Amino acid sequence: MTEHPSRLAHLRSQTRAAHASIETVPCLARLMAPDLTSAAYTRILVGMLAFHAAVEPIIAEALEPLPEALMLLDGHQQRALRDDVAFLGAVPERLRPDVPVLPNLTSALGALYVVEGSNLGGRVIARRVAASLGVAPGEGGSFYGGLSAEMARARWTLLVQILEDQRVEIELDALAEGARRTFACLEQWMRRIPAEA
């Protein structure tokens, strides 16, 4: 029986630098600060809504041949962001980031890895933001804290199963490139947003 390399492990190793770089974005780093302000938090949510509204349809189009992956693009992140932005009295941004070209299913799966991975990290952020600002799911805290730990894990498990399914033809370099381009798009977009000192 032929041994297949773990696609998830490949993605993680090939996007380690991108993960580290996104954590240096000033406005996003502020999420973990105890003196985070409501204005700074709201600007982040408005920016994230614009990013998800731009990139998710591009990913979905490329993933049409893989219905099980499309299940993860159910719009929950955009709905949560819209709810949070509205609760905080902000207006969604009309501008959209220049999203990366995702020419095939493999690169779209790499992009989905970035989008879905935020659900796991979001739970850590949710606790910090709740402590700083008092937000909660349904009260400005749905994007980072709206999914239960069990739901976030279940969604991640499904993504990993799709990635590791050897019936799905995946080119490893294209997979990693799709993820890196999506990280780069998010980073460039969010660096526009001022972070309060």
pLDDT value of residue 2: 40
Residue 8 clears pLDDT 60, i.e. is over it: yes
Least confident of 3-17, 35-49, 73-87, 173-187: 3-17
Q: How many CB atoms lie within 10 A of CB 82?
A: 18
pLDDT value of residue 4: 54
pLDDT band of 197, cuts 50, 70, 90:
low
Buried b (16+ CB within 10 A) or exposed e, 9-18: ebbeebbeeb
Distance CA 184, CA 178 (A): 10
Structure-block tokens of residue 73 = 């693009």
Q: Which domains does the chain carry?
A: 7-190 (1.20.910.10)
| Predicted confidence (pLDDT) per residue in 124-158, tens digit | 899 999 999 999 999 999 999 988 888 888 999 99
pLDDT value of residue 1: 34
Over range 2-12, report the average pLDDT.
78
